[in-house]
């Protein structure tokens, strides 16, 4: 049985404190208390962790990058299995292991029939553009910076009601479409969009599906993406502080109305941004 343990604070940079929660899974020895995890253990979740500096970490036997402070980031995709094993070896060579049990989620599946074919499948003349757009996005997310702004507490990038949730999926004219991998915030065109955490701008471009699109690199392989923007107020290479405006809400690209589609990636893994911020009323 999972038990929520102590609340801990760690200072990552001057004047920046990070709320860390220890998750305990049955009684553990004092040695295992060195593992600190922050995040909800469920499908779609980004988990920020810390072990003693100099340790190596593996998730289900696969190597996990650890920085000089012992910080690491792991994630569990939309359809992740329920049981996982996190293991680490400290600088003394002692091995530790923790079993992680995820809660499983139910996703909203909608069927819509009778649509015109052009609303389901893009025309052939834009195929090359779509492929080029995907290559741009992949290049933007390819680099992992030695930078850990991801360990700050995230804020919502826009005000407004939630109009779309992570993991939902539509079946259009009987054809299952790609699941929705973001959280949608509805707001009038021109409403501000701010950085949920500090980050470097690695892409600011007009893409076929997502329209005006910005990607922020928060470090350690974690990226925020902001879709369908009306305006983009930053350029590639800019370092944006948390809360600073990066653009405005719009309806560019394949969009049916003004809203912000905010997404979180750990590398190529698509995770749920809503798990990083306080719930909206």
pLDDT (tens digit per residue) in 222-233: 999 999 999 999
Distance CA 237, CA 9 (A): 31
Question: How far is CA 208 from its chain centroid?
Answer: 22
State phi, psi for 232 to the nearest 5 degrees.
-120, 120
Distance CA 114, CA 278 (A): 38
Residue recorded with tokens 């690209």: 253
Average pLDDT over residues 130-146: 91
Distance CA 187, CA 179 (A): 22
User: Residue 130 belongs to what H/E stretch?
Assistant: helix 127-140
Distance CA 237, CA 248 (A): 19
Check residues 17 and 130 and name the one with the higher pLDDT.
Answer: 130
DSSP string, 174-191: TEEPPPP-EEEEE--TT-
Show the beta-strand stretches assigned E in 77-138: 83-89, 95-101, 109-112
Distance in angstroms between the alpha carbons of the first and the last residue of the chain:
30
pLDDT tier, 146 (very low <50, low <70, confident <90, very high otherwise) = confident
Fold entry, domain 109-276: Glucose Permease (Domain IIA) (2.70.70)
Residue 108, both tokens: 């909203």
pLDDT tier, 110 (very low <50, low <70, confident <90, very high otherwise) = confident
Check residues 72 and 7 and name the one with the higher pLDDT.
Answer: 72
State phi, psi for 141 to the nearest 5 degrees.
-100, 5
pLDDT for 115 equals 52
Average pLDDT over residues 231-256: 96
State phi, psi for 211 to the nearest 5 degrees.
65, -145
Q: Is the pLDDT of residue 160 over 70?
A: yes
pLDDT tier, 234 (very low <50, low <70, confident <90, very high otherwise) = very high
The domain ranges of the chain are 2-101, 109-276
Classify burial at 267, counting beta carbons within 10 Å of its beta carbon; exposed 0-12, middle 13-18, buried 19 or more: middle
pLDDT for 124 equals 77
Check residues 146 and 196 and name the one with the higher pLDDT.
Answer: 196
Q: Is the pLDDT of residue 117 over 90?
A: no
Average pLDDT over residues 94-120: 79
Check residues 280 and 213 and name the one with the higher pLDDT.
Answer: 213
Name 5's Cβ contacts closer than 8 Å, sequence gap at least 6.
Answer: 21, 22, 23, 24
DSSP label of 32: G
Least confident stretch, 32-46, 79-93, 111-125, 234-248:
111-125
Which overall architecture, per CATH, does domain 2-101 show?
Sandwich (2.60)
pLDDT for 173 equals 63
Q: Is the pLDDT of residue 120 over 70?
A: no
- Tell me the percentage of the chain whose pLDDT exceeds 90: 72
């Amino acid at each position: 049985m999972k038990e929520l343990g102590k609340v801990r604070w760690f200072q990552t940079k001057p004047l920046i404190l990070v709320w860390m929660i220890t998750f305990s899974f049955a009684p553990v020895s004092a040695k295992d208390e060195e593992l600190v995890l922050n995040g909800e253990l469920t499908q779609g979740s980004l988990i920020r962790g810390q072990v003693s500096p100099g340790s190596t970490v593996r998730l289900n036997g696969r190597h996990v990058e650890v920085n000089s402070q012992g910080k690491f980031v792991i994630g569990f995709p939309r359809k992740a299995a329920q049981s996982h094993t996190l293991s680490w070896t400290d600088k003394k060579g002692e091995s530790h292991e923790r079993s992680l049990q995820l809660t499983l989620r139910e996703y909203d599946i909608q069927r819509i029939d009778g649509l015109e074919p052009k609303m389901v499948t893009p025309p052939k003349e834009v195929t090359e553009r779509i492929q080029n757009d995907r290559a741009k996005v992949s290049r933007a997310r390819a680099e992992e910076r030695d930078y850990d702004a991801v360990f700050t507490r995230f804020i919502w990038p826009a005000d407004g009601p939630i109009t779309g949730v992570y993991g939902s999926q539509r079946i259009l004219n009987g054809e299952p479409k790609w699941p929705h991998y973001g959280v949608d915030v509805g707001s009038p065109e021109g409403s501000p969009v701010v950085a949920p955490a500090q980050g470097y701008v690695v892409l600011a471009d007009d893409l076929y599906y997502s329209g005006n699109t910005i990607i922020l690199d928060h470090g350690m392989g974690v990226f925020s993406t902001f879709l369908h923007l009306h305006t983009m107020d930053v350029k590639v290479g800019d370092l944006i502080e948390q809360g600073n405006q990066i653009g405005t809400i719009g309806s560019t690209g394949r969009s049916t109305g003004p809203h912000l589609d905010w997404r979180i990636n750990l590398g190529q893994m698509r995770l749920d941004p809503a798990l990083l911020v306080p719930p909206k009323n």
